[in-house]
Structure 1
Amino acid sequence: MTEVANIDKKVGLRVHLFESVPAESLALFRMAWGVIMFYFFGKLILWTNLGKLRYIDPIFHFRYPGFEWLEILPPGLMNFTLYLGCILAVMLLLGVYYRFASIAMAVVYIYVFLIDVSYWNNHYYAYALVAIFFATTDAHQAFSIDKWRLGLSGKIPRWQLYLFRFQFLVIYFYGGLSKLQNKDWIDNMAGYSLVENSFALKGWSVKHHIIYPCSMLITWGGIFFDLFIGGLLLCRRTLWLAFILVVSFNMTNALFLRIGTFPYTMLLSFVLFIPPVELAAFINKRFRNKQLEGQAEVVEKQTASLVYQSVVMISLGVFVVFQLLFPFRSWAIDGSVFWTKEGKLYSWHMMSGSSDVYAKMSVVEMDDTKTVELGYSELVPENFLSPRQVKSLGIWPTLVPQFARFLKKEAELAGFKNVEIRGEILVSRNKRPFVPIVHPDVDLASVETHYWKHNDWILRYSDEDGYFK
């Protein structure tokens, strides 16, 4: 039975959520999170120059909707920010000055995350949410310097643990729903192209008879795992079966796909689903003074004020509703989200396939009536953008007007008048033939970008239009 199912009918949800439980499981995940964040920031600044290539060298950055105002810091401050991320990660790992470290980490990580949508990945979004969760919870109550320094109780209200559990279950289940919606995934086109590309990038010369069974394992194993692992994780009787599946699934993803630290994060999140009282009792028995063994089994009533409890419950309710409903907004937009990508952001469309992009932009100078072309100059996007940013022009066509408006300003500064920016942007999804993704005769610098309905200047691939609805 699940913990939620075991709530005494005489005990309300409020009381259950605010009961104090041992903090060991959340603390262990905090320590793992510190390691993951140290690797994330370390890769940007310590042992590679990836941070410079992504955030300092480019002269243009694609902005997230609603964050167009965000500015990149000067190189010195940007480097300081990335180094600060490394320091904060160590502080979280050790649990020292946790409240400052967790809030600062949330600010630093989310700032870096929002600099350029070209580097969007579902797991970066998940990490941003986790950073916020740690900033609003008490994961320093165990296994921390703060516990020794401040004499903390070692307990957390149960809702803090449930918040993390909920988010990881959403990631799994909505990832499964996304795969069911994606016919390319069902047909193994997406899985095959992802595995093939991953092997090629790793330098492995692998033939079809090896790629195919690996991709089928990823395709169908991914569907069934994502849809059903939540129930296994929440049921005490099937928890260790879930552990075997979580290890197998995430290590398979780490081997066959290039998705960074995400498989390890999902694997380590298993500790959050171990009943906190049982985990604390096990740790006391194995690693602490046996005189403390019985103390971990106590679940205490929370004494927080009713006002505080009400604010927390309302906030949790709003967040839960958002996470459950917002990913479905693409269903209200014409066309396929897997082609146009309209409505894809923040929707947990995990591993939806691979894309290859060819892009060329043109500056067209018009007469005063804007009806006759006076001049025509081709521009190579690679002269302004990094390879990842160029690929984003096809992967995220809603970003194209941002770059077109930038090119228009540059052209006007160079002396052009009555400028239009047009684009020849061709995309191949999952090894299909290249086809245009934006209308070639539209002034991309003047179009409006809609995020709640289809943009007519984004072309819908006839073979895919409605294909995944």
Structure 2
Amino acid sequence: MPLPLFRPVPIPTLVWLRVAMGLLGGGDILGNGIYYHWYLDDFAGYTFRYYGFEWVHPLPEPLLSLYFIVGFLLGLAVALGWRFRITAPLFALFFSYLFLLEKAHYLNHAYLFTWLAWLLALTPAWREFSLDVRRNPGERRTEVPAWTVLLFPTLMGVVYFFGGIAKINADWLLEASPLHAWLQRRADIPLLGPLFALKPTAYVMAWGGMLLDLTAAFLLLHRRLRWVALGFLVFFHATNHLIFQIGIFPYLSMVLTSLFFAPDWPRRAIHRLAGFGIPAEKLGWARTQVRRWVVQWQGRVGRAPESPASQASSLWQGHPRYRPLVTAGLALIIGLHLFLPLRHWLFPSDVNWTEEGHRYSWRMMLRSKQGHGHYLLVDRTTGAEEIVQPRDSLTTKQYRKMTTHPDMILQYAHHLRDLRAAAGQDLAIYPRFRVSLNGGPRHTFLDRAADLSTIHWQWWGAKDWVLPEGETAQD
């Protein structure tokens, strides 16, 4: 009897995931190109890069424009299952490049999608309802190893649960902050706007969001309660989309949520849609393929025999020789995603203030920070002082993000140091930044006596140049 991770399960949900991710990811790449590159031209100047990936730079024109177009086409290729074993890894690579291109654009859903894209490329999602199978019917499969399907809802369950854990704090639950401020900004929405402006609405949504996030994955695992959970989640994500306009995340979340249902639910849905009595020949190849797919699942035709090439390509998925390797890889992936949301406890600071452990931890739409400031540059040779306003050379989004993130303030200080060093200047760079958390008073963010030009970024350990919240800035 095969182990639970390697038992065969129907392939339809994996096909559904492939189609949805290809369309959503390809659209996201093109959308970023249209808005940030062609409209705002945000990649023409300085870009904040992730530590460890400083080598990622915007491509020169016309390669950058071509990247956005090709990335969109790769998404379509993945959705259609065309040359999947080539296009899927390329699609994951292209999306990873978009994610790494600008740290100021960090979004939880982009980080999640990057993981999902690489994991999807490791699955046999092209084995059904794809152009690859149309070209070579002998590679069609109706079943896949269970882990290739279960991994994706598991990751979504982690996102839900830790998103709920992060909401268990005084500002969110006792003050409904900053949710009330965000809702008030949407008070002009027809019908719902006046309701959003009420303080009790913020409390209901704050507590409801926390409880739903904590219980969503568990409710979805219950056969009778999952429909109740689905209804709440549809309302939850629709409301988030209406209020926050957070791109593809609500759609991606619902796609991943649907994977908690029986693996063959898309097959049954398509079977119902295909039963309207319309002649297949009038609807072209797509309808014919759908009907052929349904007939296969109903067992009216036998499964095509595996070719030697197909057998070789699927050995690592289910062959006993490779099962320990696959199991270890899955344990490592899940373990990493359980550790990252908890790592902020290793730092002696408030994660909402210092940002230590905030990224990659599903702390989504949780706090509101506003900051502003500048750098004081002192020539070590002459003692001459100069004030540099970063807002003069950064985009609005870059400046807004940088002023509340110590790592980005440090990065830009090093950028200034290197620019001036190339011109023959030896400068000390001192921060002058003030930050407000969740509508509170402004406080000094960084030690004003810290020379950022000499400080190196630490992955672990307390950063004494980042001050604790509570020191009110002096004008």
**Band of TM-score, shorter chain:** 0.7 to 0.9
**What is the match of residue 401 of structure 1?**
410
Shift of 1:281: 4.3
**What is the match of residue 59 of structure 2?**
73
CA RMSD of aligned residues (A): 2.7
Change beyond 3 A, Cα 1:292–1:143: closer
Shift of 1:333: 0.3
**What is the match of residue 93 of structure 1?**
79
- How far apart, in 2, do the equivalents of 1:140 and 1:354 lie? 42
Residue 246 (structure 1) aligned with residue 233 (structure 2): yes
**What is the match of residue 94 of structure 2?**
108
- How far apart, in 1, do the equivalents of 2:4 and 2:95 lie? 32
> Amino acid of the residue matched to residue 80 of structure 2?
L
SS in structure 2 of the partner of residue 329 of structure 1: helix
> Amino acid of the residue matched to residue 331 of structure 1?
W
**What is the match of residue 465 of structure 2?**
457
Change beyond 3 A, Cα 1:329–1:101: same
Shift of 1:16: 1.9
* RCO comparison, higher one (Cα < 8 Å, 6+): 1
**What is the match of residue 306 of structure 1?**
320
**What is the match of residue 29 of structure 2?**
41
**What is the match of residue 83 of structure 1?**
69
Aligned residue pairs: how many? Answer: 439
**What is the match of residue 154 of structure 1?**
142
Identity of aligned residues (%): 27
Question: Which sections of structure 1, spanning at least 5 residues, go unmatched?
Answer: 1-10, 368-372, 465-469
Asked if structure 2 preserves the Cα contact closer than 8 Å seen for 1:194 and 1:354, the reply is no
Instruction: Report the TM-score, using the length of structure 2 for normalisation.
Output: 0.85
Deviations 1:93-113 (A, max 9, x none): 212111212100110110111
Shift of 1:196: 3.5
SS in structure 2 of the partner of residue 276 of structure 1: coil
**What is the match of residue 339 of structure 1?**
353
**What is the match of residue 106 of structure 2?**
120
Residue 378 (structure 1) aligned with residue 348 (structure 2): no
Shift of 1:294: 3.2
Question: Which sections of structure 2, spanning at least 5 residues, go unmatched?
Answer: 275-290, 304-313
Asked if structure 1 preserves the Cα contact closer than 8 Å seen for 2:178 and 2:368, the reply is yes
Change beyond 3 A, Cα 1:205–1:421: farther
- How far apart, in 2, do the equivalents of 1:355 and 1:41 lie? 28
- How far apart, in 2, do the equivalents of 1:331 and 1:203 lie? 42
> Amino acid of the residue matched to residue 470 of structure 2?
S
- How far apart, in 1, do the equivalents of 2:186 and 2:63 lie? 35
Q: How does 1:281-292 map to 2 (within 5 A)?
A: 281-284=268-271, 286-287=273-274, 288=291, 292=296
**What is the match of residue 222 of structure 2?**
235
Change beyond 3 A, Cα 1:204–1:382: farther
Instruction: Report the TM-score, using the length of structure 1 for normalisation.
Output: 0.86
**What is the match of residue 253 of structure 2?**
266
**What is the match of residue 359 of structure 1?**
373
Change beyond 3 A, Cα 1:27–1:54: farther
**What is the match of residue 140 of structure 1?**
126
> Amino acid of the residue matched to residue 328 of structure 1?
L
> Amino acid of the residue matched to residue 92 of structure 1?
V
User: Greater shift after overlay, 48-57 or 20-29?
Assistant: 48-57
SS in structure 2 of the partner of residue 449 of structure 1: coil
SS in structure 2 of the partner of residue 75 of structure 1: coil
SS in structure 2 of the partner of residue 236 of structure 1: coil
Residue 433 (structure 1) aligned with residue 441 (structure 2): yes
> Amino acid of the residue matched to residue 389 of structure 2?
V
Change beyond 3 A, Cα 1:139–1:54: farther
Question: Of 328, 343, 346, which residue of structure 2 is paired with 1:329?
Answer: 343
Asked if structure 2 preserves the Cα contact closer than 8 Å seen for 1:281 and 1:293, the reply is no
Shift of 1:205: 12
> Amino acid of the residue matched to residue 411 of structure 1?
R
- How far apart, in 2, do the equivalents of 1:86 and 1:463 lie? 48
- How far apart, in 1, do the equivalents of 2:81 and 2:295 lie? 25
